[in-house]
Structure formats: C-alpha cells, structure tokens
Amino acid sequence: MIFFFLALSQNISSQHIDNNRDKVKDSLYDATIQQISEYKYAEAINSASLLINTSKKDSDDINSFYGYNLLSEIYDKINDSVQPIYYSRQALKHALKTGDKSIMAGAYNNLASTLDETGTEIDEALELYTKALEIERSLQDSVFLNPALNIAELYLIKKDYDRMAAYLLEAEFSLKRARDEYDDPQIYLDMLWGDYHFAKGQKIEALKLYDNAFTGIERDSLTYLAVEFYPQFIKRLIENNAPEKANVVYAALLKHIKKSHETSEQHKIFRASVLAQQEELKRMRNENFLKQEIARTSLESRQILNFLFVVILVFLVIFLLSLFRNIKTRQKLINDLQHKNRELEEAKEVAEKSVRDKTRFFSTVSHEIRTPLYGVTGVISLLDDREDKRLSREEMSSLKFSSQHLLGIINDLLDISKLEGQEFILQNRAFDLSHLLREIFSAFEQGETEHNNTFHLDIKEGTPQFVKGDPKRLSQILFNLIGNANKFTYNGDIWISLRAEAIAENWNEIYFEVKDTGEGIDQFSQRKIFQEFSQLETSNTDLKSIGTGLGLAIVTKILKKMDSAIELKSEKGKGSTFGFRLNMKQVSVKEVLRLEKDNNIDLFEKYKDFLKGKRILVIDDNAINLMVTKKVLMGKGIVVTTVKSGEEAVEKVKHNTYDLVLTDINMPAGIDGFETSVRIRKHHPGVPIIALSAAETKELQKKVKEFGLQDLIAKPYNQKELFSKLIASFQKTGKVLA
C-alpha cells in the first residue's frame, strides 16, 4: 500500500510544523520529502540520514522515527526488499520511546505494510495492524482508521470475508467521520467492497463499486492504483459481458502502463544511480580507508624513523660529548703534564744551579777560610817551637789579623746564609736616621788614620730625622760601603750624603750615597764585584784592606729584601759612587717621644757595676766556648760556674743557687737546653735562664718563649749585647731596679 507512506509523512509534517519543531530538522525533513517527490533518492537518503544523526545526538526520538520512516519509504521506492523492513523496525523502536500514541500507531502500521508488501509475513503484519488500529481506536480521534482498511485487505487474502466486511465497515465509518478529506481511502474502499461482493457472488454490485473506484483513479490520475487494479477489473468486465467498458478501462490502463513504465524506467535509472552512488561511496570509503591506512602506516613508519633518528641523534650527541670531554680531559692532562714538565725542568735547573752554586760556594769558602787559618795555625806552631813562647810584634799583628779575618768571614757567611733563608725578617721600628748616620760617620772619622782620607757627611735639608725601618741592617750596608770606600781610597775624600727624593704623607724615599775619590772600578769588573767572594786585583797590598769578598754580596741581598738595589757609578782611577734608595715610613710624634726616652737608656752603661758578684751558671758542651764565656763574664766580676752538660747543671742547682743560668741549646750528647731549663726550674723555680744558640730561627725564638726562657743570645755574640741582655733579664725578674 504505497500511497500510505506519503499520506502519513505529509500528515505528520504538517502536524509538527505547528509544534514549532527544530528548524534544522524541519528543513531536513522537508528537503527529504521534496527530494523523494523529485525522485532524487540519493539526496533524499542523505537528508534522511542527516535528520536521523542530528536527532540521535539530541536523543530526539520523534525525529529519529521520522528519519527512519523516510528511509524506509525511499528504499521501498527503489524496490529494495530488505531495507524498508529494517528501517521501519528502527522507526517503530523510536516511536515506542516517544510515548506518542498516534506516532506509535503510525509506526506499527508502517512496519506492517512493509511486511505486507513482501507478502510473506501476513500474520505478523496482521498483528501489527491490529496494534495500530487498537491505538487509533483508543485515541477516539476523528481520523480515518487506515489499519482497518489494511486488515480488511489481509482478510480478503485469507478469504475471511466476514471479518473483511467488519473491518471495511469500520474503515468506511471512520472515513465518513474524519475531519479531513481523503480521496485514496475512498477509492480503496470501493475496490475492496467490490472484491467483497465479487467473492460473495454479487457481481453487479461488485462491478458498480469497481467502476466507482475506476472513476476516482482516473479523476486523480492514480497510476499506481490503476496498474494494480485495472487488469483485474477488465478481466471481471469481460467475464460479465461488458466489453465496451472493458475497452475503456483497457485504454486507460494502456495510458497508465505507459506512464508507469516511464516512471519505473525513471525508477530504474534513479535506482541505478543510487546504487552507483552507493558503490562510489563504498569505493571512496575504501579508498579513504586505504589512504588512511597508508597514511597511518606511513605515519607509523615515519614515527619509527623519527624515533630511530632521535635515538641515533641522542647517541651521536652523547658520543660527541664524551669524545669532546675525552679530548678536553686529554688536552688538560697533556697541558698539565707539559706544565709539570716545565716546572720539573725549572726545578731541576734550579736544583742543579744550587748544587753548582753550593759546590762553588763551599770550595771558595773553604779556600777563603783556609788562608787566614794557615796564618793562625802557622803563628801558633811557631810559638810552640820557641823556648820563650814569645811572639814578635809583627807575628802578633799577623795572628790578630788572621783570626779577626777568620771571624769576619764566618760572621759574613752566617749573615749571607741568614739572608737567604726564609726566616730573615727585617725590623720595622722607628729610629733617628741622622743620629745613626752621625754615629757611623764618627766611627770612621775617628778610626781612620792609615789611608789619610777625609770624611764628609752631608745630610741634605728636608731629609726626615726620624723614620721607620731596620737601623741595624741599614748600618750594615753603610759600614760595608763606607768601609770599601775607605779601603780603596788613599789621601782622598769620602762623602756620605743623603737626601729625601720624594716625601709623601706617610713615607719618604731617601737616597743614600757613598762617594770616594779612590781607585775606581772598570766597567767589566763592576758586574763581578757583587758576587760572593769577588775581590778584584788591587794595587793595595795593605793587609788591613783585604776583605772577605762578601761585603757587596751582603749589601745586595739586604737591599733586595728592602725592595731596593745598589747603583754604582765608577771609572777606573776616578773614584766610585755607590748609591741606593729606600722607601721609609714616617714616624708619629708618639713614636718619636718614646724613641727619645729609649735612647737615653743605655742599660749596659747604667748597670755595668751591678753585674759584679752575681752568680751565673754557664752550660755549654763546647769546652772552648765555655772557657771564652767564662773569661768574658769573669771580666765583669761575675762569679761563674761552668758545666759541660744539662745533667751536670741539674746536679749543680740541687745544691747551689744562682742569679742566672746561661745555657747552650744544642747539646747532642745529653739533654738539650730546653729540657735542662725545665729540670733546673724544678729545683730553682724563679731563676732567669738565657739561651745561647748559633741558630736564630723563628721556631727557636718561639720555643724560647714557650719554655719561659728570658732571652736568646746568638753566637758569636758581642760583649755589649751579652751584658745588655743579662741586665735586661735581671731587670725583668726584678733583680735590677730601674
């Protein structure tokens, strides 16, 4: 019953426009209807599908129902036997969900008619029509009961004419009652009533009804009904002697067949085009799928390649980095090694040079020492051979010179070694510079008689009187330079001058100069004289003029420590000028005042008599030194006890008391000076102890303090220093009142 679909669709469409349905769905719905009417089935399928998809998204069952219903209708029109049933079932599913009775009835009816179409599912179709009819009856709406008509037709097939008549009556009744005008149902009713009467043998009645139907079909040009109904009508007209009418119907049928043929041709074409489109769609889908697959695989392989590339890149970077690091480490190692090699080579050179220097130094020293030593031992052996043990004046002077020279060399050597060591520290104390210069000057001026030289002291104006520095070392430099000037000048002049070259707020640069009119030094020799033991050939045969050859070396070394250097201007036969610059700090007024006070205290002069009668214990493992010290001390009226070891000293203090102890530090045979002091103090707690040592290292000085000794006297000592220190020590322990 093909007519039914359109009728239902149009009915529902108009119904829902009033309900202000969703505009998009409305337009999709209307478009589908339009496309179906124009046989554009492919587009119609698309629109209906779109309507379904949109509705499903919104869970809009009403429109889903319409969509499926339309799809079912379209597939029915293109003579598909399976899809209409499937889509009608879907439509029913959604219709039941809507809970809308008229929709549900429509859905049952539609599904039943698709099943009915196939002619195989009559019972199911009957059942579904019945459900639809029951719903429509319950609505008690003034509509045409379409299912009743459909059921009547099924009972015709089943040849149950009574039931058929009952349903036909119900349909007819509802049609009459219906608000709307229906044409098709009336034609259909006529056809079915015709069938009924024909089956019942009421042929006239039947042909009359058939004729009514014919008139309706022709009026409305309902080709689909004509091709279905006219052949049977013609057959029955002929059987009932109405050939004229049969002819008329036949002519109409031919017209309708022609039209139907065209339509069905069109159908075929549309169907083919839909199928082709479907095929194309399928092909496209496959192609797309294939493309996607290819893209996916190529993406996958590209991803794998990318991954591999990244992995390789990472490894490469790591490899390069480690290579770079290795190279850098290696380069650093090589550089370090090269640097160390250079250092080693330098150290080796220094060591070699120092070995060479030492060898040279020792051979020179031993040679230098041997000469005066021969003098001493020679004279002594002369003395030994003589009966009267007397020496001539000349021999005596030679002995005195040789031994003094020997002592001079040794003192200078000690000085040099001290200057080279790390322990050498310059004093930095305030002193009266002009006073110092005047003292040195007068020492030479008064002492000099042999060379007949005139000394001049020239302290330029602006030279500060008080400065800070090391007066002892400055004197040493000046004594050496003035001594040399005097040594190598005869009947000449010697100028000692100083001037301030630059005066700043805190410091002064003072230039010292010793100038003579002596024999002078040639250019070549000028470089040599500053080396140790360098003495130039001299016309001077005076014994007293012979030096150690160490003086200028010492001067150079001290000046270097003072960040200065010696300058020499000299020409052979024209005298020499030795000069140097010193940066000396200025002294504060407070320091000057303290200095003035100190200068007035000459301990030795003041307390020289005080030492008389003092008891001093002297400890020295060297018998000669012990004897010399004893003689020196006894010369001042001191009561001296001598012992050769620390152990002996401890024994002594157990039974005697002493005012002071003088102890040698280094005594390899027994306990050393420090240990001796500790043990002495156990018996004689407050006794002042002074250490005697050839060494004067910082470490030793520290130890002296730690062991609570009063002082340290460096050997060889001069008598004034020895006595000053003895007095100072008594002063500290309260034995001398200031």
Residue 549 in contact with ligand ADP, rule: CB under 6 A:
yes
CB 552 within 8 A of CB 524: no
Nearer to ligand ADP, 573 or 686 (CB): 573
Nearer to ligand ADP, 116 or 516 (CB): 516
- Number of residues in the chain: 738
Of the chain, the end-to-end C-alpha distance in Å amounts to 153
Nearer to ligand ADP, 332 or 560 (CB): 560
Nearer to ligand ADP, 6 or 536 (CB): 536
Residue 390 burial (CB count, 10 A): 9
Distance CA 269, CA 206 (A): 39
Cis peptide before 716 (omega within 30 of 0): yes
Residue 411 in contact with ligand ADP, rule: CB under 6 A:
no
Residue 548 in contact with ligand ADP, rule: CB under 6 A:
yes
Nearer to ligand ADP, 17 or 543 (CB): 543
Distance CA 476, CA 440 (A): 10
CB 363 within 8 A of CB 505: no
What minimum distance in Å lies between the beta carbon of 704 and ligand ADP?
33
Residue 444 in contact with ligand ADP, rule: CB under 6 A:
no
Residue 29 in contact with ligand ADP, rule: CB under 6 A:
no
Residue 676 in contact with ligand ADP, rule: CB under 6 A:
no
Among 185, 216, 372, 551, which residue sits at the site for ligand ADP (rule: CB under 6 A)? 551
Distance CA 234, CA 238 (A): 6
Give the interface segment with ligand ADP, choosing from 231-239, 532-540, 624-632, 704-712 (CB under 6 A). 532-540
Residue 416 in contact with ligand ADP, rule: CB under 6 A:
no
Among 521, 633, 653, 726, which residue sits at the site for ligand ADP (rule: CB under 6 A)? 521
Task: Return the residues of window 353-392 that contact ligand ADP according to CB under 6 A.
Answer: none
Distance CA 227, CA 416 (A): 148
Site size toward ligand ADP (CB under 6 A) is 21
Distance CA 243, CA 239 (A): 9
β-strand pairing of 689-693 with 576-586? unpaired
CB 521 within 8 A of CB 576: yes
Q: What is the DSSP string of 252-313?
A: HHHHHHHHHHHHHHHHHHHHHHHHHHHHHHHHHHHHHHHHHHHHHHHHHHHHHHHHHHHHHH
Give the interface segment with ligand ADP, choosing from 177-185, 263-271, 545-553, 694-702 (CB under 6 A). 545-553
Distance CA 130, CA 168 (A): 14
Residue 148 in contact with ligand ADP, rule: CB under 6 A:
no
Least Cα distance to 31 among 48, 19, 14 occurs for: 48
Residue with tokens 């036949």: 250
Distance CA 561, CA 427 (A): 11
Give the interface segment with ligand ADP, choosing from 95-103, 527-535, 587-595, 667-675 (CB under 6 A). 527-535
Residue 536 in contact with ligand ADP, rule: CB under 6 A:
yes
Residue 640 in contact with ligand ADP, rule: CB under 6 A:
no
Tokens of 591: 């320091």
Using DSSP, state whether 517 is helix, strand or coil. Answer: coil
**Phi, psi (deg, nearest 5) at residue 732:** -65, -40
Residue 709 in contact with ligand ADP, rule: CB under 6 A:
no
What minimum distance in Å lies between the beta carbon of 575 and ligand ADP?
8
264-297 in b/e form (b: 16+ CB < 10 A) is: eeebeebbebbeebeeeeeeeeeeeeeeeeeeee
Give the interface segment with ligand ADP, choosing from 223-231, 333-341, 439-447, 541-549 (CB under 6 A). 541-549
Cα 274 to the chain's mean position, in Å?
A: 70
Cα 503 to the chain's mean position, in Å?
A: 54
What minimum distance in Å lies between the beta carbon of 422 and ligand ADP?
24
Task: Return the residues of window 478-517 that contact ligand ADP according to CB under 6 A.
Answer: 480, 484-485, 488, 516
Using DSSP, state whether 685 is helix, strand or coil. Answer: coil
Nearer to ligand ADP, 298 or 366 (CB): 366
Task: Return the residues of window 554-613 that contact ligand ADP according to CB under 6 A.
Answer: 576
Q: Return the bridge partners of 581, or none.
A: 511
Among 11, 13, 534, 701, which residue sits at the site for ligand ADP (rule: CB under 6 A)? 534
Using DSSP, state whether 467 is helix, strand or coil. Answer: strand
Residue 155 in contact with ligand ADP, rule: CB under 6 A:
no
Among 185, 372, 471, 518, which residue sits at the site for ligand ADP (rule: CB under 6 A)? 518
Nearer to ligand ADP, 349 or 571 (CB): 571
Nearer to ligand ADP, 113 or 548 (CB): 548
Nearer to ligand ADP, 21 or 557 (CB): 557
What minimum distance in Å lies between the beta carbon of 441 and ligand ADP?
17
DSSP helix, strand, coil percent of the chain (3-state; round to 5):
65, 10, 25
What is the spatial order of strands in the sheet that 689-693 belongs to?
639-643, 615-619, 660-664, 689-693, 711-714
What minimum distance in Å lies between the beta carbon of 494 and ligand ADP?
9
CB 652 within 8 A of CB 616: no
Distance CA 165, CA 160 (A): 9
What minimum distance in Å lies between the beta carbon of 373 and ligand ADP?
17
Among 186, 232, 535, 622, which residue sits at the site for ligand ADP (rule: CB under 6 A)? 535
Residue 453 in contact with ligand ADP, rule: CB under 6 A:
no
What minimum distance in Å lies between the beta carbon of 718 and ligand ADP?
20
Among 190, 519, 664, 711, which residue sits at the site for ligand ADP (rule: CB under 6 A)? 519
What minimum distance in Å lies between the beta carbon of 409 and ligand ADP?
9
Nearer to ligand ADP, 568 or 639 (CB): 568
Residue 547 in contact with ligand ADP, rule: CB under 6 A:
yes
Distance CA 321, CA 316 (A): 8
The residue nearest ligand ADP at its CB is 547
What minimum distance in Å lies between the beta carbon of 490 and ligand ADP?
11
Least Cα distance to 142 among 184, 108, 176, 182 occurs for: 176
**DSSP assigned state of 451:** S
Nearer to ligand ADP, 297 or 454 (CB): 454
Residue 165 in contact with ligand ADP, rule: CB under 6 A:
no
Residue 49 in contact with ligand ADP, rule: CB under 6 A:
no
State the Cα angle at 188 between 184 and 192, rounded to 5°: 175
Distance CA 33, CA 14 (A): 12
Site residues (vs ligand ADP, CB under 6 A) = 480, 484-485, 488, 516, 518-519, 521, 529, 534-536, 538, 547-553, 576
